Structure 1
Amino acid sequence: MRKFTAAMLIAINSVSLPSVALAADKEECQAVRMSDLGWTDIALTNTTAEIILKALGYQPTQTLLGLNVTYDALKRGEMDVFLGNWRPVQDIEYKAYYDEGSVVALGNNLEGAKYTLAVPKYVSDAGVKSFADLAAHGDKFGKTIYGIEPGSNLPLVEMLAEKRHGLDGDWKLVESSEAAMLAQVRRAISSNEWIVFLGWQPHPMNMSMEMTYLSGGDQEFGPNFGGATVRTIVRKGYPQDCPNVSKFFTNLAFDIAYENAGMDLIMTKGTEVPAAAREMMAAHPEKLEAWLAGVTTLDGKPGLDAVKAELGMNQ
C-alpha cells in the first residue's frame, strides 16, 4: 500500500504513555501478533518492527489478512497490532470499532501520505485531471477502475454504486493485489493505453512512473488528493496489558522519504524485505534512538543497546 487520510478527523480514544523507561512486560506479552495486508509499505514497517522486537526478546509474527478481517481480528483479540490505519479513508467504514473501543489508536506512524485515483501523465495531458473527467472518456478507459485487494476499495465501491461523477452503471472496479494492479498499470503504460487506478504515496510508483493524481475525489478520499495520515492501532486493553511494547509502537514513526527509499529497495532493486529494513535502520540510527526512547527489552534491560547489538551498530 500500504496506504491507504488526514484532513478528516474524528474523535477516537487515545493513549498517552510516559516517556520514562517502563517496567518489563508480562510473559504473555512476548508474542506480538501483527496484521499484514500484503502492501509493500506495511511489509517494510512490520518487518522493521519485527526485527526490533526480536532483539528486545519478543516473538513477533505477521499474518496476512484482509482489511475487514484485520479489524474483526483486533476486536476478537486474535491480533494485537496493525500499522496500516490510513485516514480518513478507513474512518467511516470502521468508525464503529473506535466508537465501541474494540480498537485503540496509539498514534501516527506516517504523515504526508496521499491515496486517491491516478492516471498516467499522458492521460492527464490529454485532459483527464479530475474525477469529473472520467465519464466523458469511458470508452478509452474501458469503463474500468483498477483497485487493490477487496476491503481496501470501499470508497470506490460506494462511488460506483451511487453513480457519482457521472459514472454510469456500466463502470466496474477490478480488485486484486497491489502487485497485480501495478503490473496492469505498467502493461497499459508500455502500450500507451488509458488506465485509471488507485495510487498512493509513499510508494516507488511515484518514482518509477509519470503519473497524475486526480482532483475532485474529496467525497471518496478526502481533500488534498486524499491527503493521508497513517496510524498504528491495537486491540482493546493492549496498552494496559503490554505497556513496554505499546510504548515502542507509539514511538515507531516513519516519514515519506524513509518509506519511499525502503520500498524502492524492495520493489525496484529486489532487496529482500528483512535486508531492506536492516539497511534503512543502519542508515538512520537517529530513528532507532527515537523509536526506543523509554523502551526496554522484555526482561527490563536497555532496549536501544540490545537492538544496536543485533544490528551490529555498537562497533
Structure 2
Amino acid sequence: MSSSLRRIVFALFIATTLFCATITAYAADKITIASVSWTGVTIKTEVAASILKSLGYETDIKVLSVPITYTALANDDADVFFGNWMPSMASIANKFFKSGKVVKYVANMPGAKYTLATPTFCAQAGLKDFKDIAKFGDKLDWKIYGIEAGNDGNMIIQDMIDKNMFGLGKFKLVASSEVVMLSQVQAYAQSNKWIVFLGWAPHSMNERIDMTYLTGSTDQTFGGNDGTATVWTNVRKGFVEDNPNAAKLFSNMTFSVSMMNQIMTSLHEDPKLGMKKAGLKWLKANPDTYEKWLEGVTTVAGKPGDVAFKAYLDSQF
C-alpha cells in the first residue's frame, strides 16, 4: 500500500471513529422521560426536563398510560419515570421490577396519600370507612369516580367492585380525566351532593375541597396504612451505567409533600403560570433544594451543574 493510500485510509478511520463517538455521545445526552397526565407527576417531569436542558441534555417527554409506561421502560423506549406510586401500582410494576427490566431506583416522595375520599359533610354523616360506602349507595347513585382509563387506582376500584369487596358489587366505576373528575367533585361538594372519588396528596384538591380520606384500605386495595404511599423514581435497566451523571441527578431529586402542595396551589391560583413555570418559580424561591439536587452533578461539558441551572432559572424569570 502506498504512503498516500495509507494516509487516506488512516484519515477515513479517524473520521469514522469520530463520527461513531459523536453518535454515541449524542445518544447518551438524550433522556426520554415517561409521564402520565397527573398534575404532580407532570410538574416533576417538567422540572427534571428543565434541569436536564440547563445541563446540556436533549429531552423527550412521552405522556403515556401507566401500563404503557412500564412497557416503554422495559423496551428501552423510555429512560425514567417519576410517578411510581406504591403500593397501589404494585400489580402493574412489580413484575417489571422482578424481571430486572425496570429498576425501582429511589423514593422521591415519601408520605404521600392515594385512596378513596369523600366530601367532609359525607364523612360527618357517617361515610368514614370503605365498609360504609355501600350503606349510602342510593345517595352516591351507586358510582365511584376515578381518573383516566387504565390507571392503577381505577384498576383497584374495579377489582373491589368485581370481587364485591366491602359490598361494592352494585357500584359502577366512572372513569374520567383528573381535571374533569375534580371539577365534578368540587361542584358536588359545593352543592352538598354525595360522591366518593379517588383522592391523593400532594394535590391542590386538598386545599380547595373540604374532603376526608376514607379509612379501611387493605393490602389488597390501596395499602394497609389507609392509603399512605411512597412515590418512586424508576429507570430502565442499564440507565445508571449508561448515564451516571443524569442518574446522580435523579437519585438526588426528592420532593416533599409540602413542596408539591405549594406548587400545585400556586398553579391553581394562577393557571396561566403553567406546570413548568410553577415548579421553576418554587425552585427559584428555594435554592437550597436545587443545590442539593445538583450536588455531584455536572453539565454535559463537565462544568458545575448548579451554576448552569441557576443561570437557566435567571433566564426564565
TM-score (norm 2): 0.88
Deviations 1:91-127 (A, max 9, x none): 1332110100110122011011010000000100110
Paired residue for 2:186?
186
Distance in 2 (CA, whole Å) between partners of 1:150 and 1:182 is 15
- Higher Cα radius of gyration: 2
- Mapping 1:48-87, distance limit 5 Å: 48-87=47-86
SS, match of residue 276 in structure 1: helix
Distance in 2 (CA, whole Å) between partners of 1:295 and 1:26 is 17
1:255 equivalent in alignment to 2:256: yes
Give the residue type in structure 2 aligned to 1:269.
Answer: D
- Mapping 1:6-21, distance limit 5 Å: none
Paired residue for 1:233?
234
Distance in 1 (CA, whole Å) between partners of 2:39 and 2:269 is 12
Aligned counterpart for 1:274 among listed residues 273, 276, 291: 276
Give the residue type in structure 1 aligned to 2:73.
Answer: L
* Percent of paired sites with the same residue: 42
SS, match of residue 225 in structure 1: coil
Q: CA deviation at 1:150?
A: 1.8
Runs of 5+ consecutive residues of structure 2 not aligned to the other structure: 1-23
1:160 equivalent in alignment to 2:192: no
Check conservation: 2:217, 2:225, Cα contact below 8 A: no
Give the residue type in structure 2 aligned to 1:223.
Answer: G
Check conservation: 1:118, 1:198, Cα contact below 8 A: yes
Give the residue type in structure 2 aligned to 1:265.
Answer: S
Greater helix proportion: 2
Paired residue for 1:47?
46
Deviations 1:133-185 (A, max 9, x none): 011110100110000112222211111110100112x3110111110110110
Over aligned residues, Cα RMSD in angstroms?
A: 1.3
TM-score (norm 1): 0.89
Distance in 1 (CA, whole Å) between partners of 2:278 and 2:284 is 10
Check conservation: 1:47, 1:273, Cα contact below 8 A: yes
Paired residue for 1:19?
none
Aligned counterpart for 2:309 among listed residues 307, 310, 314: 307
1:90 equivalent in alignment to 2:92: no
Q: CA deviation at 1:302?
A: 1.1
Check conservation: 2:120, 2:210, Cα contact below 8 A: yes
- Mapping 1:116-195, distance limit 5 Å: 116-152=115-151, 153-168=154-169, 170-195=170-195
Paired residue for 2:222?
221
Distance in 2 (CA, whole Å) between partners of 1:70 and 1:267 is 27
Q: CA deviation at 1:258?
A: 0.5
Check conservation: 1:112, 1:256, Cα contact below 8 A: yes
